[in-house]
Structure 1
Amino acid sequence: MKPAIVILSTHAVPLAQRVAAAVGGEVHGLARRVEGVDVPFDDTGAHFGALYREGLPIVAVMASGAIIRLLAPHLADKHGEPPVVAVSEDGASVVPLLGGHHGANDLARAIAAALSAHAAISTAGDLRFGVALDDPPAGYRLANPQDARGVMADLVAGASVRLKGQAAWLEESRLPIDAGGAVTLTVTDAAKAPGQSELVYHPATLVFGMGCERGASAAEATALAEEALASAGLAPASLAAVVSLDLKADETAIHAVAAHFGVPARFFDAATLEAEAHRLENPSDIVFAEVGCHGVAEGAALAAVGPEGALIVPKRKTRAVTAAIGRAIAPLDAETIGRARGTLFIVGIGPGSDAWRSPEVSGMVEQSTDLVGYGLYIDLLGRLADGKVRHDFDLGAEELRVRHAMELASTGRTVALVCSGDAGIYAMATLAFELLDKAGGEAGLTDAARRIEIVVSPGISALQAAAARVGAPLGHDFCTISLSDLLTPWADIQRRVKAAAEGDFVIAFYNPVSKRRRTQLAHARDVLLRHRPADTPVVLATNLGREGETVRVVPLAELQIDDVDMLTVVIVGSSETRTVKTGDGRLWVYTPRGYAGKAGTAMESSS
């Protein structure tokens, strides 16, 4: 999550920008005082509360007392608080106020280094021993964090430490290590209940190797995994990953086990697993004939833990699932094991305005490693695209664009396929599923691309944005029709226009004209004039949510083709569509549904 660099005045902008650059954050500014920030806000207290509840790291360029008063109503569980850091307005001091052991101390150090400032770290463990016992480094999990405060108090009072197991971060600290210490710090991948004055750390040295039949039960796989751990006396908290063959990358059972233990699922190709054949305890010629390696569960576990690691739980099996456990000699970083399944986010960014982009879409773009799309659409993401690998395509290269995004995701990347408006309305989501539906061979995708995870997120469509700008023309039954005959025969388009006209639908026309195509909209206008009044309101909305936005309302009979371009959405009202002018002289368009004429009827909430 990007840290929020919060400021309340214009003179703090340069400092906030330096901090944002140092920590990869975004500048949030009070709208009535600050312009040109990434995220403007109107109510300081409400904004601080929202950031805190979302768990976003907060870096505020203001007095510590002010920050404390703003956040006081939201403070609760110490273990659940996000990092909160205060930076003095002269940039000389950086103070972690909350979440010191949840990232605030590290954040403060990074900011202080960038500003050549002083980081006022005040947590006792960091100052005296150079270590935070309740916040172990990556690769270790504390089994009993609730006991950390008492143990730290004993150490500050003078107790020494008995260290069981090995961990460089403890051995290299300033802790008073003594074989007879009253405080015990245990590092083990075994399941262990902590004793009195003991903290237990589980290193991420274990991996589950798993295989399964197509469509195996998630419950069956999870039960086998639990049983394998319990029978070997191993701690679930020491699991680094669940690993398997890449042919299993889209198996629900594998991902269910990974989600159950809160670890990533990672995958290897058959050649990598076959390289471990000489170390397998249960090689199988049948498995080799089917998938190209002599063992999936054991092979994946051994490939993950490396040549110095070992298989500590050989293959166990149920009807449809196999599992094995490997142990590495040091904590593992799951990101370096094999590859991820790969994810394709197909996102609709709306017409282009940041305010019209959903938080879900923004979150998906932030998670992505790569952005694929028409260059203009990626540009509209602004700073959200910073740090991402861009794959820009021209208009007209839709299939190439989607195929590239899917194949890129198949390499384990997290890819956002960026669409304007809504991804499923005349956009790329349908093409992705069409490619999935094609048979293999030259026309289809590679096998790996067919196994990626796909998530589609909606956006505000151009027809919704246009309607909102002028009122409520879509208040009753409506339809959309694309007038482009590049993919749809003109005869089919004519038939749909005639049917919509006869059905008296409000109609939103997409792709109304192009440089070479100037007659279709005129044809549609003439057909509609035979079925609805000449003064039927027509909405012409261009560049919605972007610079140069124009929205006009003209009578159907006066619709001129030269007033429309490819960036214009045309909404033609039904015979019931009306206009109304408010006291400020503004003209609004709406299509009544009959609520006002039906006494005692409440408006339906669905839409």
Structure 2
Amino acid sequence: MNKEDYPQISHPRVVIGIGCDRGAERATVQRAITAALQDAGLDEQAVAAMATIDIKKDEHAITDLAHQQDWPLFFYSAAELAAVSVPHPSATVARHTGTPAVAEAAALLHAGTDSRALLIEKRRRRGSDGKNVTVSVALINPEGQLGSGGDISDSAKGQAPAGKIQVIGIGPGDSRLMSQRARQAIAAADVVIGYKTYLDLIAELLDTKRVISKGMTEELERAEQAYTHALLGNTVALISSGDAGVYGMAAPIYELLIERGQYPAKHNNSGDPDTQGQINGGQEAKNGRDSDRLAIDIEVIPGITALSASASLVGAPLSHDFCTISLSDLLTPWPVIARRLEAAARGDFVVVLYNPASKKRTQHIKIAQQILLRRRSAQTPVAVIRSAYRDGQSIEHSCLGELHRCELDMLSTVLIGNSSTYQQGGYMITPRGYRAKYGSQAEHSSEQAQGSEPSPHTRNQRGKSLPLGLEGWHAEVRAWLRSQEEPRIEAAMEHFDAPRAEILTAVAEQLSSSDDPFTSRLLDTADLSWALDRFSHLPLLQATTATPHGVVLNLNVAPADITLKESKIELAAEQIHLSIDTASINTLFLLANPQSASAALTPETSGLELCDIDGNLLLSLFHCRMRRL
């Protein structure tokens, strides 16, 4: 569809607020204005006037351009501009001009409106002449009056514009997978805005629409244009592939609207505004704003995500807990991405990688692979799906150890299994856990025929938590410790893959019985001084500290060599000084072995355990006569 074939929509009327360095060239000013208009989805026909500060009356770049374009040019004093509330006041501008804003203030003052009508806030651009130009674009107030100044007119307050923004997820690209609601929304739109590649996927729905196509990385420009056209009363369709709320345009448009004071209405399940649940009611009360806000109507229409579409092509890889991580560092620092990869690997999540590689980003996937291999087998199943449900779709099955050899780009989605995922017959399957809990029908039949005792997993009851569920797993810890010839806390940590504080909690005295090898008591961290003083009469203590990765340090210290001062625990031994920040202490336990002595938690029969926020050991103290727990 050619641009000249688009249905015509009446132009908005806007005011250009302008400021520039002294001696800027006219071409520099012209390019700055053109760029700002383009970002707002407008052209020069929309300009009703230009406005600036009166000290620019002799600035030829501004005056000559206004004359050339036949744009009325208006000047305001510094005092008049300083009285206008703007989003971006500047102390530097105030020192040079006497007002904290020129472009924004001039545009708003002459348009007779407030900052909600700024289509383009202060936009600074440096020209080839080395001079800076600042441009703002303001929509003229609803009554169409120029130069009325002040706030938005009383007659306009409380009037919701007829415009609406529909943020639409079109799914993976196959028109058969687009929702009926998405089709209805596109059909009802006056203006459709989106990334060119996504618009090409729905070209057959755009024959009668005004289409604004933008490039990659121009998400904020798309949001600005959607906002502009909605202010004019148009229904706007803002297009995302997949689901607009998953790495899509939903967040940018909400951020923009709230930044501009346009608190959108919530919607009910019919897609209509929910008058009982307005965001602006609570938010305005919180921010001290009055309730007479113009609220652009907005609706987010969900779509099938790339991860759902990709998973459907390779079997059932997402049948248990999973997470999605984008490897793009354009908006997220790499250290943050790396921490998320490590956490996902540690938590045994199925991992879905978005944006795994591009022409410039070729090393990210290799580093991600290395992070995951710290916790995952090299044989962990992997599937790479490129262009799911689009032309050129391809599927590659591999394993984590070979992931770096797979063909990857920005159209690829990578599915990496967890410890239970397997591949068979060309399918990738992550068990949900039904068979592990209940067993197969064949097992039940065999046990009944033989009259044998049911196996452990066939004893599980439907609808009941597993033995290792929230209510039962502490009992499982105690039972396992009782079954060991030489029970040790460290061995239980390894067996249950749980931090020390969790194991200590499992053996709490109110849960333990006389035949349990350990019992503990949780103390308040405020009791630290009292807990240390309990050992003061003992001749010698064994102090142990450890890292989460297995480095252990054992010291023999006299209680007098342990001091608590200010925010530190200090331990002094021969040629060794150990310091622990008390702020790092999250939990504090007394721990005893009641089988080896009295069941009472006395200093002679119990030790002190300090753990950090992750449940890892910071310090343990025991009477040297006691067997190490």
Q: TM-score, normalised by structure 1?
A: 0.42
Q: Which structure is larger by alpha-carbon Rg, 1 or 2?
A: 2
Q: TM-score, normalised by structure 2?
A: 0.41
